């Protein structure tokens, strides 16, 4: 797919999220690289386990388990699931 030259420049300058980081965000199990605007903070937040800690707080407060329903919205059944 052809990318607009202005968008390409902004991605190359990391002013908006580059395709590689966007792809990481979309790869199962969808547990990392949540900063999808420019990606600058992704490596730092991953290094300090920021997202894991936030998920733990959400589970403690709400009881909702992250990604528990990931496959309920698509036709894919992961191995070992029925």
pLDDT of residue 81: 56
- How high is the pLDDT of residue 33? 76
Q: Are 24 and 41 in contact (CB under 8 A)?
A: no
pTM (2 decimals)?
A: 0.55
Residue 4: phi and psi, rounded to 5, are -55, 135
Most distant CA atoms of the chain, gap in Å: 45
Pick out the chain residues at pLDDT < 50: none
The predicted pLDDT at position 74 comes to: 62
């Amino acid at each position: 797919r052809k990318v607009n030259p202005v968008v390409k420049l902004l991605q190359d300058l990391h002013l908006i999220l580059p395709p590689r980081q966007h792809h990481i965000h979309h790869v199962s199990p969808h547990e990392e690289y949540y900063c999808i605007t420019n990606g600058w903070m992704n490596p730092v937040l991953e290094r300090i386990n920021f997202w894991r800690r936030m998920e733990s707080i959400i589970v403690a407060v709400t009881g909702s388990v992250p990604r528990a329903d990931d496959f309920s919205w698509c036709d894919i059944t992961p191995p070992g699931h029925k």
